[in-house]
Structure 1
Amino acid sequence: MTQPDARLEITPDEYRQRRERLCLLLQAQGLDAVCVFAPVRVAYLSGFFFSATERPIALIVTASGEVAALLPRLEVSHYELQGPGGTLLEVYAEYPGGGSGRHPMRHLQDLLTRLGLQDRRVAADVDGYEHRWGYRGPALSEVLGRPVPSALALIDDLRAVKSSAEIALMREACRWGDHAHRLMQDGLHVGAQELLVSHAASLQATEDLLGTLGGRYVPKSREGMPANAMFIRGANTAHPHGLHQAGPVQRGDVLVTGAYGIIGGYESELERTMIVGDPGPDVARYFGAMLTAQQVAFGALRPGRTCAEVEADVRRFIRDELGMDGLVRHHTGHAFGLEGHEHPFLDLDDHSVIVPGMVFSVEPGLYVPDVAGFRHSDTVVVTATGNERLSLYPRDLASLTVPVPG
């Protein structure tokens, strides 16, 4: 059981257990090592959270349990604060070479040679560092002169089933996402500006979080706040990922909101459809249809089923019972944790088997062109017998109607 004054982050022992599980998978696949480039996967396996730039970073885990890392010089002290002890480091001066005349990927080749892996079977999550912030460089397969097997699924399948510690962090994140949403809803009124209300609520929720959690809260990022809320409004909500727009909130607006917390690097997800003033009959009908579809999804999500079966149940209900299949724009949900979207997906073509410990968003939406969108999203963890909703914000129309005086 977590101590009341414990820091809200994954422990070094759990990171070690993750690497041990990965080693067993490597052995079972006949692989000698895996080279991990994606920042979130590096963090998942090592506890090293960093701001990804054009400078390549790679973590190597061998089948025998050795850990090594390719780092730019500016990240060495940062890694030593967060990463596992005993890591073999290969440090380069700068990208693209800092005057050395050698690309960082050639330093990675040196590191693999130091590990005795130059002629062994090395897999990778992706074939080389991702092209961000102007980065250019050779693929790992080019550096090694041979094909590189993919190990993406080995790592991401581990990530799909959350530990009790991960679920506890996400539960706490949900608490603060709910709080940020409440502050935002309390600040809504006719004439309010989207960005001002959203940022004011996010800032206040963050201040409350820091005051409540104190030293237990451990930032894992250089950007953003740990508690956030936002909304879009009007016909703009008919676009599932509509951007902010200028202008005030008006009577009759439909709002689609989003709120989340981030605790120990783990996210929550909460979305609600809200109405400014009394909803008309059409708005109430679409809201009710969306709410019932989400309830069908809750009932369909349980261990032993596949993601595709859950989606099929929801789509069948929307098509056959609601007659609104033409208003669907996306699948029912997705897993998440360290990232806002993770594998697997509640989608007709994802046949992953659902098991206890998986965490999903549940968010079937209906989008009426030139009118509005209608979507709730909740954070849900799969249990032994069904699922549990971790985001506890009200879902009913009355609770989500913004009163308008007069």
Structure 2
Amino acid sequence: MRPAIPLTGVPFPISEYERRQNNVVTAVATAGLDAIVVTAHGHLKYLSGYDGNGGYFAPFPLILIPGRAPIFVVREYDEQAVRSYSCIDEIVTYTHQPDFGRVCADVLRRLGLQNKLVGFELGCWNLAPADVRAVQDQLPDLKITDVTRLVSSLSAVKGKLELACMRDAVRFTDLAIRTFQKSLRPGITEIEMAAALAAAVQNDPSNAAGDIELAPVTILFGERVKLPHAPATHHPLSNNEPAFLEVGASKHGYTVGMVRCAVLGKHPETESLHKLAEEVIAALVSSIRPGATPADVHAAGQEVLKRSGRKGVFRQRTGYQTGINWTERGDLSLEPDVNESLTAGMTLHMPNILCSESGYLFGAGAHVLVTDRGAELLSEIPSTLYRA
């Protein structure tokens, strides 16, 4: 029986996690593998409920093998948290980082995998080459193969419970954007704006349970709009300056991010850039449908940019899959030469941030659900430039 510790547990029914685990095990068998060792924190949360926070010390592998229940290998210090926040019953612990390779290898050996073909998430965060080597040193006949995309490809398609979380989250993303827009005034600082957004989400009556929170926010004013991913500071907004916002509300780890920008007064350079970004977004959204590839979507945006004649304004990928832990390495990316077909149920964030000739990073974005008919915009706030 699980310990009765207040405010712990998993956000979804156990049957939902079993559905996800079964899908992974089926994919493992289809790929001709004998097991998978999952270590990416987003994937651990997707499959077990536990977010992997204790795994900063060393990996917390979740081992899935056809025909038996999963096994979690975790640090002894974090065992109680894993039991309280996950749906996994069988947990094996190690105490110190040097113990990891031996303990993980012992579990794989007990499962009869010491000379089998096992998938590791070699391209994801939270697994270092030294960790893989430590296991391989213990099991020299173990055949390791890369399965970076296996869990991501399954989690990309959202179930009903996941979509419900994302629809709840986007309402608060929109609330944060509206708060940003109505709070724009001369003298307000980036930090004051960030505090206003956080307060709006925390104090909204429909968030009484406190299960909606803001992911890290990017707020930049004036010349600081030239900085990618910079933290908010005490820098104030002045008349005739641009303001940049990237924000996302999250429920149970499902984040719906959005880029929305504004100008206080007039600022011709960024206004022109934003107009082009809006045209690109319209082309991107129109190109999304089941069967299209990330390369197709990327190409649709590039065609608009090519017609504009503005060279060098595009400096990043077109977008990426979203859901639990939207910064996970190995997630589907909307880039050239990525030819995996889009599927109904996928959610994608396309932050179309362009770079002006003098270095302003400005634009807008779309967060969409792929449907049988095309793309459904999740936000109710249009991608047009807000003028204060």
User: Normalising by structure 2, what TM-score?
Assistant: 0.88
Matched residues, number: 375
Letter aligned with residue 362 of structure 1: M
Between the aligned partners of 1:165 and 1:67, the Cα distance in structure 2 is 22
Residues 128 and 267 (structure 1 numbering): CA distance in 2 closer, same or farther, change over 3 Å? closer
SS of structure 2 residue aligned to 1:337: coil
Residues 214 and 243 (structure 1 numbering): CA distance in 2 closer, same or farther, change over 3 Å? closer
CA deviation map 1:97-150 (0-9, x unaligned):
6xxxxx122111121222232233322223999368xx9784433332144112
Residues 3-402 of structure 1: pairs in structure 2 closer than 5 A = 9-51=11-53, 52-85=55-88, 87-92=89-94, 94-96=95-97, 103-126=99-122, 130=126, 138-145=133-140, 146-208=142-204, 211-215=205-209, 218=211, 225-226=213-214, 229-244=217-232, 246-280=234-268, 282-320=269-307, 322-341=308-327, 343-370=331-358, 372-397=360-385, 400-402=386-388
Between the aligned partners of 1:115 and 1:340, the Cα distance in structure 2 is 32
SS of structure 2 residue aligned to 1:155: helix
Residues 287 and 28 (structure 1 numbering): CA distance in 2 closer, same or farther, change over 3 Å? closer
SS of structure 1 residue aligned to 2:114: coil
CA deviation map 1:148-177 (0-9, x unaligned):
112222211111211122122111111111
Structure 1 vs Structure 2 CA RMSD? 2.6
CA deviation map 1:238-288 (0-9, x unaligned):
3443454553111111111111111011111111121011344x4433322
Give 1:8 deviation, angstroms: 9.9
CA deviation map 1:277-327 (0-9, x unaligned):
1344x443332222111111111111111111111111011112x212321
Residues 139 and 185 (structure 1 numbering): CA distance in 2 closer, same or farther, change over 3 Å? farther
Between the aligned partners of 1:305 and 1:227, the Cα distance in structure 2 is 30
Give 1:10 deviation, angstroms: 3.1
CA contact (8 A) 2:73 2:93 kept: yes
Give 1:58 deviation, angstroms: 1.2
Give 1:379 deviation, angstroms: 1.3
Residues 29 and 346 (structure 1 numbering): CA distance in 2 closer, same or farther, change over 3 Å? closer
Between the aligned partners of 2:47 and 2:127, the Cα distance in structure 1 is 22
Residues 228 and 393 (structure 1 numbering): CA distance in 2 closer, same or farther, change over 3 Å? farther
Residues 227 and 181 (structure 1 numbering): CA distance in 2 closer, same or farther, change over 3 Å? farther
User: Which blocks of at least 5 consecutive residues in structure 2 are unaligned?
Assistant: 1-8
CA contact (8 A) 2:40 2:127 kept: no
Q: Which residue of 2 aligns with 1:3?
A: none
SS of structure 2 residue aligned to 1:63: coil
CA contact (8 A) 1:333 1:345 kept: yes
Residues 213 and 365 (structure 1 numbering): CA distance in 2 closer, same or farther, change over 3 Å? closer
Between the aligned partners of 2:59 and 2:295, the Cα distance in structure 1 is 37
Give 1:376 deviation, angstroms: 0.6
Between the aligned partners of 1:230 and 1:31, the Cα distance in structure 2 is 41
Letter aligned with residue 158 of structure 2: K
Between the aligned partners of 1:129 and 1:257, the Cα distance in structure 2 is 27
CA contact (8 A) 1:177 1:259 kept: yes
SS of structure 1 residue aligned to 2:20: helix
CA contact (8 A) 1:177 1:228 kept: no
Between the aligned partners of 1:176 and 1:286, the Cα distance in structure 2 is 27
Letter aligned with residue 52 of structure 2: F
Q: Which residue of 2 aligns with 1:222?
A: none
Letter aligned with residue 18 of structure 1: R
Letter aligned with residue 57 of structure 1: F
Give 1:341 deviation, angstroms: 3.5
SS of structure 1 residue aligned to 2:243: strand
